Structure 1
Amino acid sequence: MEALTLLEGKAMNQRVLNMLYTLNSIEKKQREDFHYLEEMPPNAINKELSKKEKMKVLNNYFFKNKDIYISKHNRFAPYPTHSHTFLEINYMLEGEAKQVVNGKALILNRGDLLLLDVGAEHSIEALGENDLLINILFRNSNINIDFLKDLRRSRSVLYDFLLKSPIKANEEQNYLIFRTAKNNKISQIMDEIIEEYFLKKEFSDAIIKAYLQILVTNLVRDYRISDQQPQNKRRKLVVDVLDEIDKNYKTITLQKIAKKYGYNKNYLSNLFKKEVGKPFSEIVIQKKLTQAHILITSTSLPISQIIEAVGISNKSFFYKKYYDFYKEKPLADRQHNLINI
């Protein structure tokens, strides 16, 4: 049995791993006949919703006197289709897990993380003895799939474009999967959360909450969205140009981009506006303003220095555009953010 989770030279606490691998009473029974044994008390299931949805719907029973609930998924029997009234993270600590989420089959490998929004439906095939799936439930209604997408969108003109693009009509966007096996930082955060919870250390609730904020921020930073639309030549060009804007917004010009990709400047300008809905220059200004907003609300740098840092030379132009975009002046925006911290 492989029981070491190495990250940045640190092995996960062996005591915790031993606890997680040890069979509990439900697992012992499920290993005998591989039939699912109901583990939830009746008051953990929303009977009205379950009857309506024709599946088990788990409610907020788990959050008595706490905002976060962590458990090991019981092995040796398939878990039936169900949904939640809260946000759930499935983290594959060891081994693999086969799931069906909203009718789509997927496999979680060691180190993968699945984020399930309220209402997402999923079932889990039987786990083997060497499979450890950790469930993290939290009821912070301010954190959801749309929250993650909006955070990513606010920092990237390419993601803003892709997220606004139509998706398949039958595809629900209430879950995200993160292939984080090679991300040591995510592994380290998850190990710390698991150790804090199962070792019941002093102040563990407060520490876990802090780690979850760090986890969510790191997931947003690494979040990638695939282009759902057919990759014709024109769309691929626009996606490439938006990516160039995200990376080189300080010095980018339409002339430079047209020359790089071998297109006439006027043709590229018209194509970009038709596909994106806004002129090239407006998207560049949008990117500069969002970067300025990040610096204004997260640092104490002088506004004049920030204006220069994002590649804008005209201060009056910046102040007007910033107010038009955020409906607030830069210094007021900074003060408002400090009040909300």
Structure 2
Amino acid sequence: MNPRVLNMLSTLNSLEIEQQQNHNYIEEMPDNAINKKLSKENRIKVLNNYFFRNKDIYISRHNRFAPYPNHSHTFLEFNYMLQGSAQQIVDGQTITLTQGDLLLLDIGATHSIAALGKNDLLINILFRNNNINIEFLKDLRRSRSVLYDFLLKSSINLQQKSRQQTHLLFKTANNVKISQIIDSIIEEYFLKREYSNTIIKAYLQILITNLVRDYHLPENKQKSKKDKLIIAMLSEVDKNYQSISLKDLAKKYSYNRNYLSNLFKKEVGKSFTDVVMQKKITQAHILITSTTLPVNNIIETVGFSNKNSFYKKYYAFYKEKPLASRQNQNELF
């Protein structure tokens, strides 16, 4: 972290000096930053898009020495623990952030924050969902395996039961790349250099890409026998998608082929054939956009025997032809 920026973030402001004396929260938001109608309906303070009047992303250091009351917001928010620790209650769940932790709060999530000490530096990064290109996010999701999606759904169901998940906690203390990206975002914002808004938006996409790539799902120790079987099958698809068949898996796990087919469709929500096809298409897309290999070679590499079938399915999935995907990717750099 740039020493000048770190010094700025560590220096007490006037509100903190007063809060340090009496430990009572002092409202820092102007009236037009609070949605009075939603606040009245939900009986908690709801922050609106006031922060984005002149910029796409708003960053601040959380004021210390007094507890921040329960509130919600109409935008997405990252809470980054730059230094020290902080305790929050997010939709009734207690979460303790330690140095390097990054908490993503969805629109509508409610949370309160316990009083921070002098050496606790919590950074708020606020952004609207339209700051992240929708196609960019779709492509991230498509690049994840169906196994990842299945495990994510299982972990959410286990932790949240019937409730919608409103936050994700990323333990990034040992991820040097993540900390460098966040430091760069914070430095660009507070140093107010030329083109900083454009650079911050680009860094935000890079940050989210790395978080998605490195996110580790919490271990679910309550997996049923069926879940374990589906996870094993999906793992096989990830490893051997080029040549895998349901017949081979039925033989390997000693199950009737039709039983496996029906169970897979019920638990995953897609047929085994569709999942294998998706894996082949997404792997082809990765090779098309990240290498200069001829498309015909890529088609063979991912296990397609019919080129016409590949082109039809690729277009149906990505809404563009393979070479157009490669060209669009090249134009980004």
- Normalized against structure 2, the TM-score is what? 0.86
Q: Which of residues 123, 142, 145 is equivalent to 1:134?
A: 123
1:133 aligned partner, one-letter code: L
Aligned-pair distance for 1:172? 2.2
Q: If each structure's helix is expressed as a fraction of its own residues, which one has the higher value?
A: 2
- 1:200 aligns to what? 192
Q: Do the aligned partners of 1:46 and 1:56 also contact (CA within 8 Å) in 2? A: yes
- 1:29 aligns to what? 18
Structure 2 distance, partners of 1:150, 1:316, is: 23
List gaps (5 residues or longer) in structure 1: 1-11
Residue 149 to residue 169, structure 1, CA distance change in 2 (3 Å)? farther
1:66 aligned partner, one-letter code: K
- 1:247 aligns to what? 239
- 1:15 aligns to what? 4
- The answer to whether the aligner puts 1:313 opposite 2:302 as a matched pair is no
Structure 1 distance, partners of 2:65, 2:193, is: 30
Aligned-pair distance for 1:124? 0.3
- 1:45 aligns to what? 34
Q: Do the aligned partners of 2:88 and 2:96 also contact (CA within 8 Å) in 1? A: yes
Q: Which of residues 60, 64, 72 is equivalent to 1:75?
A: 64
Secondary structure at the aligned position of 1:141 is classed as helix
Q: Do the aligned partners of 1:111 and 1:180 also contact (CA within 8 Å) in 2? A: yes
Residue 86 to residue 275, structure 1, CA distance change in 2 (3 Å)? closer
How many residues get paired?
329
2:204 aligned partner, one-letter code: L
Structure 1 distance, partners of 2:180, 2:315, is: 41
Superposition RMSD in Å: 3.1
1:121-270 matched pairs, under 5 angstroms: 121-141=110-130, 143=132, 151-162=140-151, 167=157, 168-226=160-218, 230-254=222-246, 257=249, 262-264=253-255, 266=257, 268-269=260-261
Aligned-pair distance for 1:223? 2.8
Aligned-pair distance for 1:127? 0.5
Residue 140 to residue 282, structure 1, CA distance change in 2 (3 Å)? closer
Residue 79 to residue 330, structure 1, CA distance change in 2 (3 Å)? same
List gaps (5 residues or longer) in structure 2: none
Structure 2 distance, partners of 1:192, 1:15, is: 13
Residue 82 to residue 291, structure 1, CA distance change in 2 (3 Å)? same
Structure 1 distance, partners of 2:113, 2:319, is: 47
Q: Which stretch of the first structure deviates more once superposed, 177-186 or 147-156? A: 147-156
- 2:107 aligns to what? 118
Secondary structure at the aligned position of 1:186 is classed as helix
Residue 163 to residue 215, structure 1, CA distance change in 2 (3 Å)? same
Structure 2 distance, partners of 1:146, 1:236, is: 33
Aligned-pair distance for 1:160? 3.2
2:12 aligned partner, one-letter code: L
Q: Do the aligned partners of 2:39 and 2:45 also contact (CA within 8 Å) in 1? A: yes
Secondary structure at the aligned position of 2:283 is classed as helix
Q: Which of residues 46, 50, 57 is equivalent to 1:57?
A: 46
- Normalized against structure 1, the TM-score is what? 0.84
Report percent identity of matched pairs: 67
2:254 aligned partner, one-letter code: Y
Q: Do the aligned partners of 2:142 and 2:282 also contact (CA within 8 Å) in 1? A: no
2:19 aligned partner, one-letter code: Q
